[in-house]
């Protein structure tokens, strides 16, 4: 069978306008969020500190970060492979495009873009692709919860330490609230993945769906038949596709490989933070301490925020570094969190744009047409 090519029409003026509006609004809101985070920081000192950083450390840091994303793509390829064999680069490019969009647009739009691209390029059903994305994120949530548990156990978080940021108060209570929400999400995700692999569960869901027409007891048989054909049969098909996307749990060896890859992904991500900190004067945190900083930042940016998490990332980083003796609102804490945020975000955005060009996908059309 010849490869499927994605042909897209040129952008309309409306689409261009929507794109520019989204970007402009995102930049304005991100700028306001950064101002909110840094309003108590002397900007002259911050500028001097940023100029003192040894930016050669960007290269090993960015390499470790991008290597972690390559492992993410490999993990996603394995998850997809239980239903449809996909080459590594066919998984890598959509993944990088998705994370790129998460960095510049609100609402985690990239999570939807990934299965859309798979559907257009490799004819993977959208609901199956979305289920594999959800499965991949479950691994991340599980490992984040494990790391967060170790942070709470080993790091003393002063209950009186609180950083106001807009409508949020970044403190231990907020961390625990996010942790409870993530734990709930983790339980639901793991349970859903397991249950959807039981034929009895799938049949039960299908029976309930096929009972929908009977709810319209007052309607005629023609109307009920239309509901069955247009809605129920499609929903049953989507249920089967979702189950296919969750089929990894039936393959213990592949499941174990994904667990190992998840460990390496988060190890490399923390290493990226640590390596960059070596070029930042006045930081001096150990690898384990920097891992705790990363975990705390990840939990705080799980709160609804602006595109790219600007401002909230910095506030969360300053909160975390305060726990290890780096003063709040100091040039070291502020300078490192801001510079490290850029180091973590910009390579992903660049890689995502390159991936979009390489596979010939107009991501804006995909988002606005879906």
Does residue 266 sit within a domain? Answer: yes
Does residue 236 sit within a domain? Answer: no
Phi, psi of 169 (to 5 degrees): -120, 110
Give which of 303, 56, 5 is closest to 165, Cα–Cα.
Answer: 303
CA-angle at 78, arms to 72 and 84, nearest 5°: 125
Does residue 288 sit within a domain? Answer: yes
Specify the pLDDT at position 228: 86
pLDDT at 35 over 90: no
Does residue 145 sit within a domain? Answer: yes
Does residue 231 sit within a domain? Answer: no
Does residue 3 sit within a domain? Answer: no
pLDDT at 41 over 70: no
Does residue 89 sit within a domain? Answer: yes
pLDDT at 24 over 60: no
Calculate the average pLDDT of the chain.
84
Domain interval for residue 118: 54-176+262-369
Rounded percentage of the chain residues whose pLDDT exceeds 90:
41
Specify the pLDDT at position 32: 57
pLDDT digits (tens, 9 = 90+) for 260-308: 999 999 999 999 999 999 999 999 999 999 999 999 999 988 887 777 7
Q: Please tell me what DSSP assigns to residue 180.
A: H
Q: Per the structure, how many domains does the chain have? A: 1
Which has the higher per-residue pLDDT, 202 or 368? 202
Does residue 58 sit within a domain? Answer: yes
pLDDT digits (tens, 9 = 90+) for 197-238: 888 998 999 899 988 888 887 778 888 888 888 888 898 988
Specify the pLDDT at position 139: 93
Specify the pLDDT at position 30: 55
- Return d(Cα 176, Cα 152) in angstroms, integer: 9
- Return d(Cα 125, Cα 82) in angstroms, integer: 14
């Amino acid at each position: 069978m010849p490869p499927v090519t994605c042909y897209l029409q040129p952008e309309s003026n409306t689409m261009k306008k929507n794109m520019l509006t989204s970007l402009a609004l995102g930049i304005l809101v991100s700028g306001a969020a950064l101002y909110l985070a840094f309003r108590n920081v002397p900007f002259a000192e911050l500028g001097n500190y940023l100029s003192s950083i040894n930016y050669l450390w960007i290269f090993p840091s960015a390499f470790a970060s991008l290597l972690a994303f390559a492992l993410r793509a490999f993990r996603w390829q394995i998850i997809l492979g239980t239903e449809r064999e996909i080459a590594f680069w066919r998984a890598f490019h959509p993944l990088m495009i998705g994370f790129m969009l998460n960095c510049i647009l609100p609402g985690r739009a990239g999570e939807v873009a990934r299965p859309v691209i798979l559907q257009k390029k490799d004819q993977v059903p959208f609901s199956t692709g979305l289920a594999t994305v959800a499965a991949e994120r479950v691994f991340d949530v599980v490992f984040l919860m494990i790391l967060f548990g170790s942070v709470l156990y080993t790091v003393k978080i002063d209950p009186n330490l609180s950083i106001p940021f807009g409508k949020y108060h970044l403190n231990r209570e907020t961390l625990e609230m996010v942790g409870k929400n993530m734990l709930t999400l983790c339980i639901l995700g793991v349970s859903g993945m397991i249950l959807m692999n039981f034929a009895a569960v799938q049949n039960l869901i299908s029976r309930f769906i096929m009972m929908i027409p009977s709810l319209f007891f007052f309607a005629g048989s023609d109307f009920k038949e239309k509901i069955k054909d247009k809605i129920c049969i499609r929903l049953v098909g989507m249920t089967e596709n979702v189950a296919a996307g969750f089929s990894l749990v039936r393959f213990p060896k592949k499941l174990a490989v994904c667990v190992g890859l998840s460990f390496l992904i988060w190890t490399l991500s923390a290493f990226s933070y640590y390596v960059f900190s070596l070029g930042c004067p006045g930081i001096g945190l150990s690898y384990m301490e920097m891992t705790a900083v990363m975990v705390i930042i990840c939990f705080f940016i799980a709160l609804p925020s602006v595109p790219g998490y600007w401002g909230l990332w910095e506030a969360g980083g300053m909160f975390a570094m305060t726990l290890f003796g780096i003063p709040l609102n100091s040039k070291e804490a502020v300078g490192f969190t801001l510079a490290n945020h850029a180091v973590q975000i910009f390579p992903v955005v660049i890689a995502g744009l390159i991936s979009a060009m390489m596979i010939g996908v107009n991501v804006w059309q995909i988002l606005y047409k879906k």
